[in-house]
């Protein structure tokens, strides 16, 4: 299973939110590149980079951070947050993203998102499925749609998506364990998709359970920043 640390950016700084609440923000490092290099030095190969300013602004904002990390590390970077237009995606890839993740745009601008899949390929475009009570949430998790998770994923699998990052918002930043049963059900329904778990990972045992149910990858954020998981211990995966 791929271990994918997350760096979330506000004002160019590395932060974490609790349950996506911008009012519950904690700054962990003012220099995201330092954090990315520490991940790389520990043998990490992938990074989930989220532009939280972009998510609020509905356009890419922190592409300079992406550019620095992509040019000064060898990490494979998946970039998301606020990508709403063809220009945003162009900037993200030009700034060094290996993949981009679309969440709100896949709900509110399905035609645009579908065109990205056709243009760049299903391996470059990741579907972001952020869920609250199994309904898809949008706009930085500040709005819950009526769209069910499984119908949402099924629709985009048919359009060529290969990878899905699914975040259980109730778990995110809580350090109370991941939504393992949810991911197990997703894997059973969508056996051909790469399912990446996100939200709630608190320790190595959580990661082991996600690996056991068959997750392709797991995104880890606060557990690393709070010292509950040591980077050296991640080498067992």
**Which sequence positions are flagged as catalytic?**
8, 130
SS3 call for 110: helix
The rounded distance, in Å, linking the Cα atoms of 83 and 107 is 12
Distance CA 26, CA 205 (A): 25
Angle between helices 110-120 and 86-94 (to 10 degrees): 40
Half-sphere exposure of 188 (CA within 13 A, CB side): 7
Distance CA 178, CA 228 (A): 14
- Upper half-sphere CA count for residue 204 (Cβ side, 13 Å): 10
């Amino acid at each position: 299973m791929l271990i994918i640390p997350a760096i979330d950016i506000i004002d160019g700084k590395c932060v974490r939110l609790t349950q996506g609440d911008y009012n519950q923000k904690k700054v962990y490092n003012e220099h995201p590149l330092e954090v990315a290099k520490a991940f790389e030095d520990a043998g990490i190969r992938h990074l989930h980079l989220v532009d939280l300013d972009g998510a609020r602004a509905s356009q890419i904002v922190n592409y300079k951070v992406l550019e620095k990390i992509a040019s000064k590390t060898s990490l494979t970077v998946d970039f998301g947050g606020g990508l709403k237009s063809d220009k945003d995606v162009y900037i993200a890839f030009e700034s060094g993203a290996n993949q981009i993740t679309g969440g709100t745009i896949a709900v509110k601008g399905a035609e645009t998102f579908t065109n990205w899949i056709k243009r760049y390929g299903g391996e470059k475009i990741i579907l972001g499925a952020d869920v609250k009570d199994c309904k898809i949430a949008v706009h930085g998790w500040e709005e819950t749609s009526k769209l069910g998770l499984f119908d949402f994923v099924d629709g985009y699998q048919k359009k060529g998506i290969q990878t899905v990052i699914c975040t259980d918002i109730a778990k995110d930043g809580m350090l109370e364990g991941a939504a393992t049963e949810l991911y197990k059900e997703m894997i059973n329904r969508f056996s051909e998709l790469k399912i990446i778990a996100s939200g709630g990972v608190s320790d190595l045992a959580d990661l082991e359970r996600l690996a056991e149910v068959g997750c392709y990858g797991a995104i880890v954020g606060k557990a690393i920043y709070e010292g509950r998981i040591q980077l050296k211990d991640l080498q067992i995966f």
